[in-house]
Each structure stands twice: as C-alpha cells, then as structure tokens.
Amino acid sequence: ASLTKIMTAYTAINNVQNIKTKVTITEDDISNLEGFTVVGLEVGDVVTIEDLLYATLLESGADSSKALANHIAGSEEEFVKMMDQEADNLFLRNTNFEDSFGGHDYNIATGREICFLLVKALKNETFKEIFQSTYHTMSNGRRVVNYTRSIATFHGLDDTLLTGNKPGYTEVAGLLLASTATING
C-alpha cells in the first residue's frame, strides 16, 4: 500500500542530482488515480522535486509519487524498474513493486523488509528530514500535512514519542504504519 512510497522517495533521492529542480506537472502525472489519495496537483503547476518528496511522504500523494517517477525516469514503468533495482541492491528478496504509489495489489513486501528499507533510508539526511516533518508548503502554495500525530493524540497516545512516520491503507493490506519513536531516550 502507501508504504511503497518509502521506496519511491528513497529511489528518487538516490537518482536525482538536485531536489530543488523545478518540474511542471503534466496530465500523465495526475491521470488514472481515481480512488487514491492525491495532494491536488494540477496540470501546469510548477513545483520542485523536494515538494514532490514532501507530498509523497507526508500526505501520501499518488499524484506526487507518479510525478516523481515520470520526471526522474521518464515514465512510471522505468521508475518502477529503478525501485526494484534498489530493492535488489538492499537484498530485499520478498519485495516487489508494480507502481510508485502503492495502488497495485502486487506491490508487496514483508514487515521486516520495510523496516530494513526504512532504517537504510533514514541514513539519508534528506529523507530523514522529510520523514520527521509534520508539514511543508509547496512551491505552488499547497500545504501538505502528516496527520498521524493528531490521530495519535485523538486516541490518547503521547504524540511527542513519534519522531517520524509513514501511514498507509488499502482494503487488501489494511492499516499500515512505518514509524520511529524515542522512548526514555
């Protein structure tokens, strides 16, 4: 499900020269995403790769994930090959990707491999900064927000323990969460 976007962001960061690079959103970036979470990108919006990374990790935007794929690899299909190559490089033998946003039933991984991927991704300062953020204002003025802390507070949990998180959900996979916390130091 949306935990796919951890690999999307990790792959994007590892394959882009400058996250401040501006891209113009195309019809292909936002098409065929009915039923998926989107951040509301529109054709012609000019945003940075960095904006797309924040939108992908904080608000789980399928449109931002697809835009990253298209603008870094030329197509989502080519980007998925890059994601699978990153998985192979990390020896994630039970992980497979079919798209960049977690919509395909054959995006699969074990909990252990997602954990390993997250630990590896957090060694990258750019990924870590985004993963640990609560909000970001994009170049097009759109604000993206991660609501997991608010949900934790609503359920009576101490949200100050969370140091970063990426939630997800599909009917097949159910509720998912990859997170980090600091407890007693």
Which residues are catalytic, by number? 2, 5, 60
Rg, Å, the chain Cα set: 15
Go through 33-54 and write b for each residue having 16 or more CB atoms within 10 A of its CB, e for each that does not: beebbbbebeeebebbbbbbbb
Task: Yes or no: say if 41 and 28 are a contact pair by the CB < 8 Å rule.
Answer: no
What tokens were used for 174?
A: 């159910």
Contact 106, 98 (CB under 8 A): yes
